[in-house]
Amino acid sequence: MLERLKWTHNSESYNRLEACVVRLQATSVRVTVALPEGDETFYGSLLPKVLRSRKTAKESIAYWRISLDPDIVALFGMPITRCWSGI
């Protein structure tokens, strides 16, 4: 994920990434999508579940499992096609 963001692989980047994920998980949003038959509004967290795991506290590579809310995905008609497991 750090490579996709074009961030360096150091502790500052890992901490920054974790802070971003925590903020996205904790923040409630409202998204309204205009449709031909009316509109739909989503209220909630973009990331309802986040799991981070490392084998040891000293290990620099963490593995993340981030769940997107299926309702927000459906609003935009976006299929989930990729999964990144390592940071």
On the question of pLDDT at 28 being above 70, the answer is: yes
Residue 46: closest CA among 77, 25, 31, 16 = 25
Write down the mean pLDDT value for the chain.
79
Domain map (residue ranges) of the chain:
2-76
* CA distances, 84 to each of 10, 39, 79, 80 (Å): 19, 32, 15, 12
* Confidence bin at 81 (pLDDT 50/70/90): low
pLDDT the model gives residue 82: 54
- Tell me the DSSP string of 72-87: HHHHHT--------B-
Look at residue 1 and tell me whether its pLDDT is greater than 60: yes
Residue 43 has pLDDT above 60, yes or no: yes
